[in-house]
């Protein structure tokens, strides 16, 4: 595997002094799909904008296909396509013309066959003569993708491509991403949905507070992330977890009337059946049981504390 994008100690402070990137280093392999997972304000858009030339880095290096993004910006940028987070399109312009503009901006001559191919793949061909403002939100997002692909980039950045998008379109979007990958395009997408990373990424990077907390193979990460919790509420409070249940690693709440059991949903056995059997054997009476999945926030907390430990 060859590295197509290399980021070294990238820092970005905005004019107001706020440091949005605090030394990010990351290598991206050619042909992979990398999902950058992080809450709002984590620095995902800043990272992408800096690589693409929309904001200036404060320090650090980025090279794209071996080309420095500052000294050799033309060669570097030619390899990159960007689908921005916000829908930004000229409302009165025809779909086809705005896609042509994108190709031209990257220095390529007009190629109607290529544009047709892209528009068809994105189900936009029928709308090519429509003004952008006549399209639905989902269609506009496709136009943004078409524009980003118009110059046949080797690397595609998708900044929260499925935020605020309905389920149908989200599935379509994933399909598009998979097809691009098959054509050898390297894809970096940001999201705050774990399921999205799970569905399409090869690797997942977790970013928070301007720092890349970790980058890992998706399968490894999902194993860590996919934890579920059962809260068992009791009719009578207890002082401590009975000895018979010590093997389960339970956490009792302050009032002693409920405890939480965590398990791995990917594990072969969840241990729920035997736990509930043993609870009954220990003479405890259940009032209620509820389950919940790890929230993104909890996962971040776990990751951060895990890193420090």
Partner 1 sequence: MNWAAVAAIYRFEMARFFRTLAQSFFSPVLSTSLYFIVFGTAIGSRIETIEGVSYGAFIVPGLIMLSVVTLAISNASFGIYFPKFLGTIYEVLSAPINFLEIVIGYVGAAATKALFVGLVILVTATFFVDIRVEHPIAMAAFLILTCLSFALLGFIIGIWASNFEQMSLIPQLVITPLIFLGGTFYSITMLPPVWQTITLFNPVVYLVSGFRWSFYGLADVPIFFSLLAIGAFTGICLAIIWWIFKTGWRIRS
Ligand X SMILES: Nc1ncnc2c1ncn2[C@@H]1O[C@H](COP(=O)(O)OP(=O)(O)O)[C@@H](O)[C@H]1O
Residue 26, Cβ neighbours under 10 Å: how many? 20
Quick check: 100 binds partner 1 (CB under 8 A)? yes
C-beta closer to ligand X: residue 38 or 153: 38
Minimum Å gap between C-beta 191 and ligand X is: 10
261-267 contacts: CB < 8 A, separation 24 or more? 261/229, 261/230, 261/232, 262/227, 262/228, 262/229, 262/230, 263/227, 263/228, 263/229, 263/230, 264/223, 264/226, 264/227, 264/228, 265/226, 265/227, 265/228, 265/293, 266/222, 266/223, 266/226
The contact set with ligand X (CB under 6 A) reads: 14, 16, 18, 20, 38, 40-46
Are the C-beta atoms of 206 and 37 separated by less than 8 Å? yes
**DSSP conformation class of 54:** S
Considering only the stretches 34-42, 90-98, 112-120, 295-303, report the one whose residues sit in contact with partner 1 under the rule CB under 8 A.
90-98
- Identify the H or E element spanning 142: helix 137-149
Minimum Å gap between C-beta 1 and Mg ion is: 28
What token pair was written down for 251?
């956490």
Are the C-beta atoms of 154 and 65 separated by less than 8 Å? yes
For 178, the 3-state DSSP assignment is: helix
Quickly tell me which residue has 């025809």 as its tokens.
94
Measured from each CB, the residue nearest to Mg ion is 45
Quick check: 18 binds partner 1 (CB under 8 A)? no
C-beta closer to ligand X: residue 135 or 303: 303
Considering only the stretches 21-29, 70-78, 247-255, 299-307, report the one whose residues sit in contact with partner 1 under the rule CB under 8 A.
70-78
Are the C-beta atoms of 11 and 19 separated by less than 8 Å? yes
93 binds, among partner 1, ligand X, Mg ion, none (CB under 5 to 8 A by kind): partner 1
Bridging pattern class, strands 19-29 and 3-13: antiparallel
For the window 70-99, what string marks contact with Mg ion as x by the rule CB under 5 A? Answer: ---------------x--------------
**Which of 2, 40, 86, 254 contacts partner 1 by CB under 8 A?**
86
**Which of 45, 49, 50, 162 contacts Mg ion by CB under 5 A?**
45
Quick check: 203 binds partner 1 (CB under 8 A)? no
Quick check: 147 binds partner 1 (CB under 8 A)? yes
Quick check: 54 binds partner 1 (CB under 8 A)? yes
Bridging pattern class, strands 258-264 and 227-234: antiparallel
Quick check: 101 binds partner 1 (CB under 8 A)? yes
38 binds, among ligand X, Mg ion, partner 1, none (CB under 5 to 8 A by kind): ligand X
What token pair was written down for 131?
């003004």
Q: Which residues bind partner 1 (CB under 8 A)?
A: 14-15, 52-56, 73-78, 80, 82, 84, 86, 88-93, 97-98, 100-109, 147
């Amino acid at each position: 595997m060859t590295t197509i994008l290399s980021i070294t100690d990238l820092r970005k402070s905005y004019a107001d002094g706020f440091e949005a990137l605090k030394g990010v280093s990351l290598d991206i392999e050619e042909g992979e799909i990398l999902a950058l997972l992080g809450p709002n304000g984590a620095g995902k858009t800043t990272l992408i904008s800096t690589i693409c030339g929309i904001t200036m880095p404060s320090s650090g290096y980025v090279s794209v296909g071996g080309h420095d993004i500052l000294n050799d910006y033309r060669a570097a940028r030619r390899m990159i396509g960007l689908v921005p987070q916000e829908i930004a399109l000229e409302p009165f312009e025809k779909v086809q013309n705005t896609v042509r503009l994108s190709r031209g901006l990257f220095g390529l001559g007009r190629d109607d066959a290529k544009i047709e191919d892209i528009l068809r793949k994105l189900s936009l061909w029928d709308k090519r003569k429509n003004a952008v403002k006549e399209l639905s939100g989902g269609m506009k997002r496709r136009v943004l993708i078409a524009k980003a692909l118009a110059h046949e980039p080797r690397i595609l950045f998708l900044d929260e491509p499925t935020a605020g998008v309905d389920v149908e379109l989200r599935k379509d979007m994933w399909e598009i991403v998979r097809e691009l990958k098959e054509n050898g395009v390297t894809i970096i997408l940001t999201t705050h949905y774990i399921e999205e990373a799970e569905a399409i990424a090869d690797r997942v990077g977790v970013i928070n507070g301007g720092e890349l907390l970790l980058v890992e193979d998706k399968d490894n990460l999902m194993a860590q992330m996919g934890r579920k919790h059962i809260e068992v509420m009791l009719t009578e409070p207890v002082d401590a977890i009975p000895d018979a249940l010590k093997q389960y690693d339970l956490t009792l709440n302050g009032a002693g009337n409920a405890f939480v059991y965590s398990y791995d949903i990917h594990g072969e056995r969840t241990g729920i059946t035997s736990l509930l059997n043993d609870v009954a054997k220990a003479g405890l009476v259940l009032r209620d049981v509820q389950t919940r999945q790890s929230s993104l926030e909890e996962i971040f907390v776990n990751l951060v504390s895990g890193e420090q430990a």
